[in-house]
Amino acid sequence: MKKALTIAGSDSGGGAGIQADIKTFSAHGIFGMSVITAVTAQNTKEVRSVQAIDTDIITDQMAAVFEDIHVDAVKIGMLGSKEIVETVAEALNTYLPAIVILDPVMISKSGHHLLDGKAVTALKTNLLPLATLITPNVPEAEVLTGLSIRTEQDFYKACLSLIELGSNAVLLKGGHAEGNPNDLFYDGKNFHWIKGERIHTKNTHGTGCTLSSAIASNLANGQSLQESIVQAKLYISEAIRNSFSIGGGHGPVHHFHSFSKKERSESI
């Protein structure tokens, strides 16, 4: 069994962060491990509070995993502060995992800011060059590049800018754009549009975490980068289509939708 490590914040509501990552790993036949960078008090409607984890504990978590268990892929989510970004980057430079997927989480679905200005600068300087792929949405890409992203041409410009900043490859997600949520993948040489379908539901909590974890899982399982993205896009689309109306806000996606379908078909 392949093994993947998520470095992210914990979501008490269970729909995003560490919880979403572990569920996604499991759904792809991957053994999941975690380094928790922050504890959040959140549900489908809000993030009430955030407690960052001490950097010494983060360092120890990473050492405990890497020094005992082979890590086939790393997914990075919420980091929160400049100090945590630098701590994670230092550990990655020490252990040198082959696959690193960076989801530059900045704002929660409910609008809570999860990354401050100094942390954004540190992320660009220290983590972008270490990532196999970064997966920003439009607002995150605008913060990273300073560009306004509205048109298809803007997508191309933003991807080029992110590569110039040090990224090895970019998946610029189109969920915040008009029309269907088409994503633009740029590997530094060629552009590829990954088409999507707009599924009309408010239950999209944890979509970014889930997509990036699915890409990491597919890469760990031996797929190419482009195929990993294509398959992850199909996975998250079905997870959204089969999402749960839990709570009063943005409900979670269904990470185990394929298993539920199999169980239903076997029972008929």
Active site residues: 173, 204, 206-209
Cβ atoms 216, 4 nearer than 8 A = yes
d(CA 266, CA 92): 44
Say if CB 246 and CB 255 are below 8 A apart: no
Closest C-alpha among 225, 208, 216 to residue 27: 216
How many residues in total does the chain contain?
268
CA 153-157-158 angle, to 5 degrees, is 115
The residue with tokens 């008929």 is 268
Residue 119 contacts residue 82 (beta carbons within 8 Å): yes
φ/ψ of residue 28, rounded to 5:
-105, 10
Nearest CA to 141 among 194, 186, 98, 75? 186
The CA distance from 210 to 239, in Å, is 9
